[in-house]
Amino acid sequence: MVHLFKALGQAVALDVGSGGVYALDDAAYDALSYLLERPDSPDVEILNALAERYTGEQAAEILAELREMIRLGYLFTPDEEPEFAVKTAGIVKAMCIHAAHDCNLRCKYCFADAGEYHSRNRALLPPETGKKALDWLVKKSGSRYNLEVDFFGGEPMLNFPAIREIVAYGRELEKKFHKRFKFTVTTNAVNLNDEMIEFLNLEMDNVVLSIDGRPEVHDRMRPTANGKGSYDLIIGRAKRLAELRGQQRYFIRGTYTRYNLDFANDVLHLADEGFEQLSIEPVVTDAKHDYALRPEDLPRIGEEYERLGREYIKRRQDGRWFNFFHFMLDLTGGPCLQKRLTGCGAGNEYVAVTPGGELYPCHQFVGRENMRMGSVLDETFDEGIQERFKNNHVLSKEKCRSCWARFYCSGGCAANAHAFSGDIGKPYDMECRLERKRLECAMAIYVLEHKEKAISGVPEDNLKT
Amino acid sequence: MKHFQTIAQPGLQDTMKTGGCGECQSSCQSACKTSCTVANQSCAKKEQVLIAGRDGKTNRIAGR
């Protein structure tokens, strides 16, 4: 399968099966476009079509190059499904620890219901439960060295003493079992003080700070418990943390909604505030809400990603460098195919633990019926659910078979699929459509930023074959 | 060639043989927590490569 598209004014061809990515000029785009629409066209037909825009000599040259790309296996590689079996069955290596089912904000789009996860029960994770969770993870991780633990909530920093204790315990386990814990935290930054910032910058491999962008955008969706805006409370603390981390290993993670379809302005606001690691992502919520994104918004959102992409390239060139999570794409050193097939690993190699020690396939599944996998307290674990999630890889999803993006999104978010269709194997359509647009922009940005260093056509070694 | 430039070499299928060690980061832990994006994760086997970034500005730095 070949996916041909234009984004940010750049024509790009992706050979889906092989991962080959090519920058095309307009002539190559026209030729390949014709061939994709009429796959069995003889050369004479393609030449005739090209003759409408190009001289006979030019048309012949373009077609010769296209045929050579195909002959060398750079385009239209067979869509054979790789022989695939998950190598890591039974191993769990990543965990989301819900340090607090409580929160000091009342964000309107919160899937966690102000931190309570629909349980009507505010709770803080006891340190002993957190330690048992780490013990459980070490046991389930087999020979895996790198283990990931994210402190999540609600607002996890409401339970800072427990986090500190659990991290210290994890460092002991590292020595005892030859493991490496990569701790991370997702926080709204409301109560961060200097002591906490120092601790997080010492111990956390990554810190995710929730800020939506411009003050009015942020305050509208992220009020405090007494209904006031939270932007002024957090912005200084977040800046301090980011600066003290050397602008590395953190993300400002915001959410855009139907209220701010001009979300590029929010990304750029955060960049103007000096943050260099940014991620502003679409809200996922029930369509009944005013702020839910609608299918008819997609063209506008697509244009906004393009606008952001153009400004992104410009700023990265003129000394105002920043990173945008959904434009990050490593086309030459990215993950292996095995990883691309298995995706986020929820329910298989990644689980969430509640303050009560209960296990769920991921943080999004917490509280959902029939999704409780067990408990770290009594060490029960439903391997049937794990098996179900293990087998929910991209090749098993009907909808993904015909999608060019399948090796980039890996079949999407199981929790979103489950929330909208009741089936973890049926990806949520809005998410797919947004993902494809973001990927097109990300690939075009990569092309535009790497074109000068790129190889003209194919490497000479291959041309000799 | 004048009209085609190779930006990324084909070879994804080859990583099926060499990959799958599982030491890399779970994608959901990186930033998103809701939107699955896997292709921007780093391979733990390779040097902690920059991801469309510049020296010293990566979000994935080995070791503490």
List, for residues A371-422, the tens digit of each pLDDT value.
Answer: 999 999 999 999 999 999 999 999 999 999 899 999 999 899 999 999 999 9
pLDDT of amino acid A84? 67
Smallest Cβ–Cβ distance between B18 and the set A249, A336, A363 belongs to A336
Contacts of A321 in chain B (CB under 8 A): 54, 57
pLDDT of amino acid A257? 98
Tokens matching residue A147: 């283990």
Identify the weakest region by mean pLDDT among A302-306, B3-7, B19-23: B19-23
**Of A179, A253, A244, which is closest to residue A212 (Cα–Cα)?**
A253
pLDDT of amino acid B48? 46
Contact B33 A186 (CB under 8 A): yes
pLDDT digits (tens, 9 = 90+) for A44-102: 999 999 999 999 999 999 999 999 999 999 999 987 776 666 666 689 999 999 999 99
Query: For the residues A229-249, what does the mean pLDDT come to?
Result: 97
Identify the weakest region by mean pLDDT among A119-123, A168-172, A430-434, A447-451: A119-123
Contacts of B19 in chain A (CB under 8 A): 335-339
pLDDT of amino acid B64? 26
Query: For the residues B25-40, what does the mean pLDDT come to?
Result: 74
pLDDT of amino acid B5? 95
> B63 — contact with chain A (CB < 8 Å)?
no
Please tell me which residue of chain B has the smallest CA distance to A96. B29
Question: Quick one: what percent of chain A has pLDDT higher than 90?
Answer: 86
Instruction: Residue window 10-49, chain B: list those with CB within 8 Å of chain A.
Output: 10-13, 15-16, 18-20, 22-44, 46, 49
> A446 — contact with chain B (CB < 8 Å)?
yes
Residue type, A268: L
Whole-angstrom distance, CA of residue A138 vs CA of residue A147: 8
Q: Distance, in angstroms, between A273 CA and closest chain B CA? A: 17
Higher pLDDT, A373 or B25: A373
Residue A204 pLDDT greater than 80, yes or no: yes
Identify the weakest region by mean pLDDT among A320-324, A407-411, A417-421, B18-22: B18-22
Q: What is the DSSP string of A54-87?
A: S-HHHHHHHHHHHHHHHHTTSSS---PPPP---T
Contacts of A20 in chain B (CB under 8 A): 6, 8-11
Contact B20 A23 (CB under 8 A): no
Residue A461 pLDDT greater than 80, yes or no: no
Query: Apex CA A33: angle with CA A337 and CA A297, to 5°?
Result: 75
**Of A212, A407, A459, which is closest to residue B9 (Cα–Cα)?**
A459
Q: What is the mean pLDDT of chain A?
A: 93
Whole-angstrom distance, CA of residue A94 vs CA of residue A148: 5
Contact A61 B3 (CB under 8 A): yes
Stated pTM of the model: 0.92
- Cβ-based neighbours of A102, under 8 Å, separated by 6 or more: A115, A116, A122, A123, A124, A153, A154, A155, A158
Query: For the residues A246-260, what does the mean pLDDT come to?
Result: 96
**Of A460, A450, A465, A461, which is closest to residue A22 (Cα–Cα)?**
A450
- Residue count (chain B): 64
Contact A330 B40 (CB under 8 A): yes
pLDDT of amino acid B43? 83
Residue B60 pLDDT greater than 70, yes or no: no
Residue type, A58: Q
**Of A335, A304, A295, which is closest to residue A438 (Cα–Cα)?**
A304
Q: Is A253 exposed, middle or buried (0-12, 13-18, 19+ CB in 10 A)?
A: buried
Smallest Cβ–Cβ distance between A281 and the set B1, B35, B53 belongs to B35
Structural contact between residues A14 and A3, judged by C-beta atoms closer than 8 angstroms: yes
**Of A336, A210, A405, which is closest to residue B16 (Cα–Cα)?**
A336
Residue A40 pLDDT greater than 80, yes or no: yes
Contact B2 A25 (CB under 8 A): yes
Highest mean pLDDT among A131-145, A384-398, A450-464: A131-145
Task: State in Å, rounded, how far the first CA of chain A is from the last one.
Answer: 23
Q: What is the DSSP string of A132-168?
A: HHHHHHHHHTTT--EEEEEEESS-GGGGHHHHHHHHH
> What does the DSSP 8-state code read for residue A202?
H
Residue type, B7: I
pLDDT of amino acid A457? 62
**A105 — phi, psi (to 5°)?**
-120, 165
Higher pLDDT, A456 or A34: A34
**Of B58, B51, B47, which is closest to residue A205 (Cα–Cα)?**
B58
Contact B20 A144 (CB under 8 A): no
pLDDT of amino acid A452? 73
pLDDT of amino acid B55? 40
pLDDT digits (tens, 9 = 90+) for A97-127: 999 999 999 999 998 877 778 776 899 999 9
Whole-angstrom distance, CA of residue A19 vs CA of residue B12: 5
Contact B42 A330 (CB under 8 A): yes
Q: What is the DSSP string of B1-64?
A: --SEEEEE-S-GGGHHHH-----SPPGGGTTTSSS---TTSPPTTS----SS--TT--S--S--
pLDDT of amino acid A331? 86
Contact B37 A435 (CB under 8 A): yes
Higher pLDDT, B57 or A191: A191
Preceding omega of A425 cis (within 30 degrees of 0): no
Query: For the residues A295-320, what does the mean pLDDT come to?
Result: 97
Structural contact between residues B24 and A419, judged by C-beta atoms closer than 8 angstroms: no
pLDDT of amino acid B56? 39
Structural contact between residues A463 and A64, judged by C-beta atoms closer than 8 angstroms: no
